[in-house]
Structure 1
């Protein structure tokens, strides 16, 4: 992409008008318009530097036609030089930086597994879902979220799995008789609707439940009536990992060789997190 087009794209991202860009950068409006329209083929370096500062882009990005337009952010990595990032990549770097040590270990393990998976061919009519496996540690009432193993499911591409972002292994009887222990549940990230089953994190513990709200009271309700409701206190930390879409049918667990084997015991690169 040309310098002129990159400037125009950065201007649109910023939401600035040409007049506002001129005011912020200190470059005369007539000069800004000529540069953006391509009338000025070789703008003065000082003008470009001011425009870059105003638009929060680097001169390297602006002048190097080999850098794709979406990679407009830059980061200096110690020992590895300058890298250009998209907005999404920068947000991932930023979020990684504020994670706890345990959170970073979880991200590292997931990334390692997904990178190992990426070269594997995907059969027609099937897709792969990241799977939260049996937890290696329990909290007071549920599985500790930062103690899960991970695996991969090879599943048929149907209405449930196509909408899902990941799957989770149901380890208790809280969803019986609809879903029995051992069921693989498909989950879509995001909030849940009223009376919809969801996957909830309550004080770092994971619960498949319905969220019930009434004046002055919030609770997590199981399908199985033998399970007591979990009252959410004002001081508790509650978040929703996603909506439960249904059971995953006819799935295959991916073994280390990379070929699906229904009912197999070994998963491809399962990660036991040492937290």
Structure 2
């Protein structure tokens, strides 16, 4: 069985490979891709993939974009941090999910489901429903059911203070510590990773521009063209570090900025 992993977190991708090997040593990981762009380039070039493990949030956007642009007719197991209520959307014949952090027993369940539903069909993909329609329904349901965090209780001096998302300009990872920066420039340490913060805040309001920054739309003053197709962000309040958006992510960022 050939498996394709689409996951931008190196540690998690490595964990998935190790768990797959433990569950079934005959499983062959064809490749590990870390972005929508790489998936769109790689997938049309191969025809030997039997199963895909796909993270929902990738470095350059939501992985649903892959299915909107390519007709994929192999089973998919999504890796996600969405809550159980929204995950009812994944109860489909050809789609399953793994809830982060990934556990061996859950991955084994997904692999068993794949073998039960698909291996008995001798590799015939004609029995697979049109995935693009199912992905769209999942996307719509997740957008409908998902609620986002409105407030954070953060340490300030010798107490905890509530900070609403309306007052937040950006989150920054800085030398192993994540801090929340308010509109008036106050810094609050926050005991969460940028990955976990990204999962609980509204993606219409906030955007993960790179590994270091999650920026609020309202904080952006303007965008400058930078070297080699990259973008330079000017935001308020101004951080000490420059905010650079890679060439691979520039198009997605501009699309996000143009959304209502």
Q: How would you bin the TM-score normalised by the shorter chain?
A: under 0.3
Structure having the higher Rg: 1
- The alignment's TM-score, normalised by the length of structure 1, stands at 0.22
- The alignment's TM-score, normalised by the length of structure 2, stands at 0.23
Which structure carries more helix by proportion?
A: 2
Q: Which has the higher contact order (CA 8 A, sep 6+)?
A: 1
